[in-house]
Structure 1
Amino acid sequence: MAKHTFIALMMLSFLLPAQAQIGTTTQVIEPAIMECQYDHTAIRDTFDCSQVMKDRMILRIGKNVSQFYSWYTHYGDSLWSSPTGQQIAIKRTFEAIRTKNFENKPGERTPGYIYKSYPQKGVTTTYVIQVEPDLTLQKKPACLYFSEDTPKQTWEVQDSIKQIAGYSCQLAVTQFRGRLWYAWFSLDIPIDNGPWKLCGLPGLIMEAYDKQNYYHYTLTSIRTKDVEPIIFYNYWNSVFEQTTRLTYLKRAHKFITQYSEHLKYTQYDFLELDYQP
């Protein structure tokens, strides 16, 4: 975990983004009508498939905007951004090291926050916070973002049917940015949305995984009451700098291969392979 986080931070430091900006404070975007939680597994080191990263992902859906992020990453961000939170984070980090149980260690798992239809309809914005805890709180972390037209996905609906979390689901398949994706969606919840950047089906995506099963999302719960609003999180009040999706991926990949030829694991957004020549 520590190795993966270190390399993610180093990758970000090698990016040279343009000087565009988005919001510099945490702010409510709009109320949410639904919150879905997904169990997420990722195999980042394809040379050792026994090492599986586990995460809990949140998909919060509003009337116009949705957001998707790691519960653990968000929890770590919220702690490290204040003196009181940092003391809690440090204590729990040392406890994790002492017990060799890193399950509850505050920190990044799946990096980044993804917003669909934000800042406007038809646009997907992804932003990454470079978390380098500064115990003096005198240095704000670098924050990067890139926006793109909401990706189009051409799905082929199959005949296969199964139950997920009590909902009847149907299978669909698509080729998207270098990976073959399988998604189980439910017409019982006629909302065009799902984990990560997956969308374009006539019902909520309950489960999704790529052909190699390196990345897997499984719905565990849905809430429609007492749901927190959709929030643009910026606990450090940092200035965001703009880059592009492909520039980010290419430079991150270049750094990884220069750092070690053996580090072929996929860190941030290497879910997408279309940056490769």
Structure 2
Amino acid sequence: MSRLFFLLVLLMAPDLCWPQGSQQFQVVPLSRMRHLQAQYPYNGYRPALDVAGYCLLDRPQKLDVSRLRVIYDVDILVDTLSDKRLKDCMVTLIGDTYYKSYGRCCWQVCMNHTDRTLRRSKDFAWMDAYDGVVLNMAVYRNRATRRTTQRGLFPLINQLVFEYTESEPPMNWVLSGQTRTLEGYTCQRAVCRYAGREWEVWFTTAVPVDCGLWKFNGLPGLILEARDLRGHYHFRVNTVESHEEEIVRYRTATKKLTRSEYLKRERTLYSAPLFHAQGPDSYFLKCYESGVMEFVTADDFVDLPYNPLELE
């Protein structure tokens, strides 16, 4: 059987050309697209390093200084078809004006690209407890303006952050009166519906901050555990500590969208990442040793598992 090569074809690229009908197509060698893969079958899917995009974190802009740091372990059903679950980590920094929640594994990948002297085994030993990048976003809550900004990285797109800002979404919490002890704190149960998911959280007024996790707001204490009632997402506190650290926003290349545009773009990129990651004028050829070439269609690829926090 002839060997098969996948080559990324970009219009207007200064590389080798093949004639196809009356057009000339520019072909980028495989050596320049190692970060891309031809297929992502569910039984062999690996998120993290070879799929997630990254950005350089070398130009920080100080927004605030944290007085509290909360680290959550996160268990996520990433694929509803195969029931595949992965573990990630979220950090929330709580300052007087800004709260920042971000995927810690995504931050580590970006930091390794920013500072090439870092090594996971040396500086990020905590990463060994997690499966890689699943939460590829950071959420900033400005308590003064009551505005929330979400910044995210999408698959196979490097050095570009997608962002939207919205008024702080209202959370219509219902308190059940139930209590339990979690990590030594007396917690109360509350439930609400937000963005297509029913959430159950346990919070403690012993740490009187406004929620402290993701976009959640409107409770009089720190959330120590949160899960959606489908069992797709489960956040559980790992560490609560007094911690002084600058809360920063990085001056990365950013594409600003509305919330609906952001969610639509995200769905599109996960459904056909190899086609959309390089722009609308990119496509693929299958090149056989015999010299025969065929266009690659969407049927040749499997989409990336997509089960976002926000369903609507």
Shorter-normalised TM-score: what interval?
A: 0.7 to 0.9
Say whether residues 1:265 and 2:293 are aligned partners.
Answer: no
Secondary structure of the 1:52 match is strand
Say whether residues 1:211 and 2:235 are aligned partners.
Answer: no
Residue 107 (structure 2) aligns with: 74
| Distance across 1 between alignment mates of 2:75 and 2:271 | 23
Q: Is the 8 A contact 2:88 2:131 kept in 1?
A: no
| Distance across 2 between alignment mates of 1:149 and 1:240 | 20
Q: Is the 8 A contact 1:156 1:173 kept in 2?
A: yes
Q: Aligned pair in 2 of structure 1 residues 143, 76: CA closer, same or farther (>3 Å)?
A: same
| Distance across 2 between alignment mates of 1:168 and 1:217 | 17
Residue 136 (structure 1) aligns with: none
Secondary structure of the 1:253 match is helix
* Superposition CA RMSD, Å: 3.1
Residue 31 (structure 1) aligns with: 65
Give the greater-gyration-radius structure (CA): 2
Which of 242, 245, 255 does residue 241 from structure 1 map onto? 255
Q: Aligned pair in 2 of structure 1 residues 53, 193: CA closer, same or farther (>3 Å)?
A: same
After superposition, residues 138-177 of structure 1 pair within 5 angstroms as 141-177=159-195
1:222-269: per-residue Cα shift (whole Å, max 9, x none)?
111x4322122x3xx5322211221121232234345679758335xx
Structure with the larger RCO, 1 or 2 (CA within 8 Å, 6+ apart): 1
Q: Is the 8 A contact 1:59 1:68 kept in 2?
A: yes
Show structure 1 runs of 5+ residues with no match. Answer: 13-22, 93-101, 134-139
| Distance across 2 between alignment mates of 1:129 and 1:254 | 14
Measured after TM superposition, the shift of residue 3 of structure 1 is 4.1
Identity of aligned residues (%): 25
| Distance across 2 between alignment mates of 1:194 and 1:262 | 36
Q: Aligned pair in 2 of structure 1 residues 73, 8: CA closer, same or farther (>3 Å)?
A: closer
Q: Aligned pair in 2 of structure 1 residues 106, 240: CA closer, same or farther (>3 Å)?
A: farther
After superposition, residues 1-277 of structure 1 pair within 5 angstroms as 3-5=46-48, 9=53, 25-49=59-83, 51-85=84-118, 88=119, 103=128, 108-117=133-142, 121-129=145-153, 141-224=159-242, 226-232=243-249, 234=250, 237-257=251-271, 263=303, 265-266=305-306, 270-274=308-312
Instruction: Give the aligned residue type for 2:94.
Output: I
Q: Is the 8 A contact 1:46 1:264 kept in 2?
A: no
Show structure 2 runs of 5+ residues with no match. Answer: 1-43, 273-297
Q: Is the 8 A contact 1:75 1:107 kept in 2?
A: no
Measured after TM superposition, the shift of residue 211 of structure 1 is 0.6
Measured after TM superposition, the shift of residue 104 of structure 1 is 7.0
Q: Is the 8 A contact 1:45 1:266 kept in 2?
A: yes
| Distance across 1 between alignment mates of 2:153 and 2:218 | 28
Secondary structure of the 1:157 match is strand
Normalized against structure 1, the TM-score is what? 0.74
Q: Aligned pair in 2 of structure 1 residues 249, 156: CA closer, same or farther (>3 Å)?
A: same
Normalized against structure 2, the TM-score is what? 0.67
| Distance across 1 between alignment mates of 2:45 and 2:304 | 16
| Distance across 2 between alignment mates of 1:272 and 1:205 | 19
Measured after TM superposition, the shift of residue 208 of structure 1 is 0.5
| Distance across 2 between alignment mates of 1:243 and 1:24 | 24
Q: Is the 8 A contact 1:257 1:263 kept in 2?
A: yes
